[in-house]
Structure 1
């Protein structure tokens, strides 16, 4: 009997390989990843919809049974981002996307696979800090984030990563002291920190079983932290900024003779290094990325040492999203000097770039007659909303399907411009994200232009906040955070995953629709192309969502969307409208009234929506207000990209004092 059972198990296991029925969560995540990497043709076998990577070969994908366990796409010249759903790949233990062009100056996404043992994003173009989600990867053994543009100080987030054996953070722009939680990396044997701007001591590494430590190109020492602006001499136990041979020597000598011999040997090595430096100084040297590519394709091999003169830069003060006190840390607010060119700057300077060809429309074609029947000839009884470009009607079809149909005003699209409308429809039909309202179909007939979207039962956020009656139930604090986070994720997708980026331009609480579970779905995405800019400007100015630069010059960028999102967060926090003429003059504009008080804890308690009746964590409220303050800054260049806003809100949830059970039910966090 036992033998029969064993044979049956082996047969089932073998058939899982033959059939290749890949887990659908893995398929969906790989589809999204393929699209976010601009559907690169070099990814043979990959597809944006469906497919079976465990049944048919997909480039770089390895499976075990029906689960994807490894993705290795090093040196494939990939661009774009990592999508938004890799966190669903719970069986993935190896992810190597090194030596590509991923990131585009954006941050490393927070939603990484949770059970990774090996992660390499080396040799890409990521900026910002290390995402908090990495601190939860308790199985992680090898981490390589070298040769990027990462910056800021390291958060004290390494306490749970006791399994790490190799970590490479070299050739970035990290600043500040080494975090205390480094002392928890009890299995760490290789640590590369060279060519950053770290300061302070390496005392936290004293008890670790390190065999290979590289710290040159920093302001690190083995003694007390020197005062600002002071540089310790190499003879005083410091890690000299220009000394490329600065590595941990684990073995200590107990005799004077042995120490003297070691000193002589080290001196000879240093002199040899200096001579070598001057011999090769005049020769052309490869870039750091080229050197990284020549690591013999080893996942975590050590890059060759560089003998490079570097000028130490003192870390500049910035604002931490937790406290908004001046600190040297990873933060949302970019530094005011030497700012990296943003996505917005790139867009404003690419007017001569050839527009990519429009993809086929992936939506159903409706007849005007069918939509008239479903909406009772667009009757007032079925009217559910009115926006800047038209009215929205509830449409119920014979099979019971309910859709929301937007009937676009004739003034929004000039006569005989059906091709322009179809271009917009084609673009909208490419947008797929859990927090973006899905386009189901369209109609372009007899001069009528209509869009049919999925219908969301709970209406808009505007109505839930501002049209309460005695039968309405106020939104809980957990649901408000859930709505803010979901909306932020939608904008992150539009701004940083879509290529080219999508400006929303009409961001307001009326366009945040809520389903039965109060999950948000951003509507009107991709419609900016058919609405005159002045109409957006006039509408947003009147309603209080307009960023200062839009009001002053009509110039709209991605950071203008970030400002409008900050206003929505203010609505969620205060329960007030962005502009309310019924209020005293000093309180009519929500941003002007609230902005000076966002860092005042006592004032926050008075500003918060009274309908919450005090049922919110005070610390979470303060952090929520900190994020708002960054989003509604007057200068657009100081507003954070949406990926950083998302990470801040995720951290807010994870660090909140609210119960885990409440968040798992209401927030559905990865």
Structure 2
């Protein structure tokens, strides 16, 4: 009995110990390591603020187990981050996409600067960055936050157009973008916000209409103090609408298009508490009741309107037929009449039936007062012979030369380039040769003489349109178009000149004056080029695919800042892709380009990754002089990018080991993403920019630690070596 009792007591004691041990484990649960890394990155990007009280010792790396301020967890995953009103400075952290269980991120009412990172928590529901000093754009990646219910970015300094696709944001119920400097029209995809109830867009610089918001289930909408135009959609007049400070159209709105459903009865009554502007005209109850008494609903009115239009079209058809039977003498009299303006009805009748072949656009007067003279008429061909019902009227767009670029004569450019002498030749690319032009006033420009095989002699008007399109591209890292020439069948573009030539020459053409690029310069060149591509892909409207990214098209100024050349050229030149495909085998093109011949944003990203490989290794993308396994740079380098020992052996020998290992590894990580064989897995350029910015930011923080640390002081800052090792 004693033995049995002793055994029972031991069993109970063992159970008690196990229970106590499990309680201790649950009390000190270790946070998911990925979440810990992300939380640390947030702490570092905020300049390690002491007011948070987060521990810095590795032994306490457990925000869930030790209840860090502002952090809420479920099990071992971080689910909420509330860090508002804490006077935090610094920037928003990168790598937030690793917080896959995070549903709330609130960093509002602080002093944060910089841009909103492209990488955001993928399952976040509430995102609040309001009342900070954030700049840049609203990142396109918000389009992928399919669980988002509340987005608040108000009172920042966000700029440019709202480049977000709202089609997948059906759960979004509140959107606040107020008090920023956002521009452009509202995206049409806003009409897909089926769950939206509150929207604040006031105090921006939005333009266009708000028609895309007409059928949304909104209860409250504020669009005050923008540049909106057009009419207020009828449905929005019956919600809490604030709309002052815009340029709304006055007078009655145009009738809805045929097939538009009638307003619901519930929308025919005002809601209380409206703050509406007096410019919006509500239909009176008398008008509504009168429609009901007459028995004609909105559907009947639409039917009557359609019937009137149909009858009017038949009458107009017979009038035109009657006009077409005028005698030849009448037509001759019409063709020879004085240059005085025609009566408006006759002008309308003539212009409505002329084909594109009748238009002589070159003779159109572009002055303020245009004399309306009828076009020449073929007297040997009756109006019946023209197949108006079968041939659509095509009116060619009148393109004028841009005012912000200069028109040069061919004689001027011949003088400045020594009649395009080979001594002035800078480069020979896919579309033509580039010459150095020296002007009498000391100015030096670059003249691109486009081959006649690229643009035919009779391409003058279309060339002016190309010039006009390229002239709108303005970015610090894009080579600026200065002027053009289109004479005697010659087509030339005049660009700003950069004295340090191309990146290709810097890396691969050595002479007694050339110096190798230090690591800092290589990172700066990569970041500047990435920003240029981000501008073309994600800022320009319409977007621009470069199609010809290579080191020879990256020009360096006196401070080694990069300037991407040939931007927009391949987008507007006919058959540009065929011309570029003839140069296949350079090592810059992605595999899908070789298969389809088509260039995309993703193929640009691949080519940029190849340029980064050039910067890393100092090798050409394809070098037939090397052993066969090493001829293709991408094929040779890609398997070694994540091996730190192999990576050290790949680095350009001209660097002589003067580079930081961590920076080198992160640089290689970006390359690996860009040159992935599957285009869908390559990142957008905005994400590439963010990764390179993060690389530089980490390096700058390390530099501050190195410079001001107690062990090193600042004694080494007088030499160049610490600066070389910074990034």
TM-score, length basis structure 2? 0.47
2:686 counterpart (623, 643, 647): 643
| 1:355–1:597 Cα change, 3 Å | farther
1:458 counterpart (500, 509, 513): 500
RMSD: 4.6
| 1:391–1:132 Cα change, 3 Å | farther
Instruction: Provide the residue aligned with 2:598 in structure 1.
Output: 555
Secondary structure class of the residue paired with 1:176: coil
| 1:132–1:642 Cα change, 3 Å | farther
Instruction: Provide the residue aligned with 2:100 in structure 1.
Output: 176
**Alignment check: 8 A CA contact 1:132 1:651 kept:** no
Shift of residue 174 of structure 1?
Answer: 8.8
Write the mapping of 1:95-110 to structure 2, written as runs, cut at 5 A. Answer: none
**Alignment check: 8 A CA contact 2:518 2:724 kept:** no
Shift of residue 369 of structure 1?
Answer: 0.3
Secondary structure class of the residue paired with 1:392: strand
1:483 counterpart = 2:390 = no
TM-score, length basis structure 1? 0.50
| 1:178–1:553 Cα change, 3 Å | closer
Instruction: Provide the residue aligned with 1:367 in structure 2.
Output: 409
String of CA shifts for 1:568-626, please: whole Å, max 9, x gaps: 00000000000000110000000000111111111110111010011111011111011
Shift of residue 177 of structure 1?
Answer: 4.3
String of CA shifts for 1:262-309, please: whole Å, max 9, x gaps: xxxxxxxxxxxxxxxxxxxxxxx983334345456599xxxxxxxxxx
2:663 counterpart (613, 620, 632): 620
String of CA shifts for 1:517-563, please: whole Å, max 9, x gaps: 00000001111121531221231x22110111101111211111111
1:577 counterpart (600, 620, 626): 620
| 1:160–1:572 Cα change, 3 Å | farther
**Alignment check: 8 A CA contact 1:478 1:663 kept:** no
**Alignment check: 8 A CA contact 1:407 1:450 kept:** yes
Cα distance in 2 for partners of 1:485, 1:645 equals 9
1:517 counterpart (521, 542, 559): 559
Secondary structure class of the residue paired with 1:656: helix
Shift of residue 471 of structure 1?
Answer: 3.2
Secondary structure class of the residue paired with 1:543: coil
| 1:367–1:357 Cα change, 3 Å | closer
Cα distance in 1 for partners of 2:42, 2:495 equals 35
Instruction: Provide the residue aligned with 2:610 in structure 1.
Output: 567
| 1:366–1:157 Cα change, 3 Å | farther
**Alignment check: 8 A CA contact 2:457 2:490 kept:** no
| 1:483–1:395 Cα change, 3 Å | same
Write the mapping of 1:359-398 to structure 2, written as runs, cut at 5 A. Answer: 360-361=401-402, 362-398=404-440
Instruction: Provide the residue aligned with 1:257 in structure 2.
Output: none
Write the mapping of 1:139-178 to structure 2, written as runs, cut at 5 A. Answer: 162-163=86-87, 176-178=100-102
Instruction: Provide the residue aligned with 1:494 in structure 2.
Output: 536
String of CA shifts for 1:218-249, please: whole Å, max 9, x gaps: 9xxxxxxxxxxxxxxxxxxxxxxx9x9xxxxx
Write the mapping of 1:290-305 to structure 2, written as runs, cut at 5 A. Answer: 290-293=197-200, 294=219, 297=222
Cα distance in 2 for partners of 1:138, 1:355 equals 61
2:459 counterpart (417, 424, 445): 417
2:489 counterpart (413, 424, 447): 447
Secondary structure class of the residue paired with 2:198: helix
String of CA shifts for 1:104-136, please: whole Å, max 9, x gaps: xxxxxxxxxxxxxxxxxxxxxxxxxxx999955
| 1:355–1:522 Cα change, 3 Å | farther
**Alignment check: 8 A CA contact 1:617 1:656 kept:** no
Instruction: Provide the residue aligned with 2:639 in structure 1.
Output: 596
2:652 counterpart (575, 584, 609): 609
Shift of residue 419 of structure 1?
Answer: 1.5
Instruction: Provide the residue aligned with 1:535 in structure 2.
Output: 579
Secondary structure class of the residue paired with 1:469: coil
Secondary structure class of the residue paired with 1:463: helix
Cα distance in 1 for partners of 2:600, 2:46 equals 35
**Alignment check: 8 A CA contact 2:640 2:647 kept:** yes
Shift of residue 173 of structure 1?
Answer: 9.7
Cα distance in 2 for partners of 1:593, 1:506 equals 22
Shift of residue 185 of structure 1?
Answer: 10
Shift of residue 397 of structure 1?
Answer: 0.6
Shift of residue 659 of structure 1?
Answer: 2.9
Write the mapping of 1:349-364 to structure 2, written as runs, cut at 5 A. Answer: 360-361=401-402, 362-364=404-406
Cα distance in 2 for partners of 1:154, 1:515 equals 47
Instruction: Provide the residue aligned with 1:508 in structure 2.
Output: 550
**Alignment check: 8 A CA contact 1:486 1:519 kept:** yes
Shift of residue 423 of structure 1?
Answer: 1.1
Instruction: Tell me whether 465-474 or 651-660 shows the greater mean CA deviation.
Output: 651-660
Cα distance in 2 for partners of 1:427, 1:586 equals 43
**5+ residue gaps, structure 1:** 1-130, 140-152, 166-171, 188-194, 200-216, 219-241, 245-284, 300-353
Secondary structure class of the residue paired with 2:582: helix
Cα distance in 1 for partners of 2:482, 2:42 equals 36
| 1:551–1:198 Cα change, 3 Å | same
String of CA shifts for 1:399-427, please: whole Å, max 9, x gaps: 11100001111000023011221111111
| 1:593–1:183 Cα change, 3 Å | same
Cα distance in 1 for partners of 2:468, 2:101 equals 50
| 1:473–1:388 Cα change, 3 Å | same
Secondary structure class of the residue paired with 1:480: helix
Shift of residue 196 of structure 1?
Answer: 7.6
**Alignment check: 8 A CA contact 1:174 1:197 kept:** no
| 1:549–1:398 Cα change, 3 Å | same
String of CA shifts for 1:617-665, please: whole Å, max 9, x gaps: 1011111011001111111111111111000000011112763689999
- Bigger relative contact order, structure 1 or 2 (CA pairs below 8 A, ≥6 apart): 1
Instruction: Provide the residue aligned with 1:145 in structure 2.
Output: none
Shift of residue 182 of structure 1?
Answer: 8.5
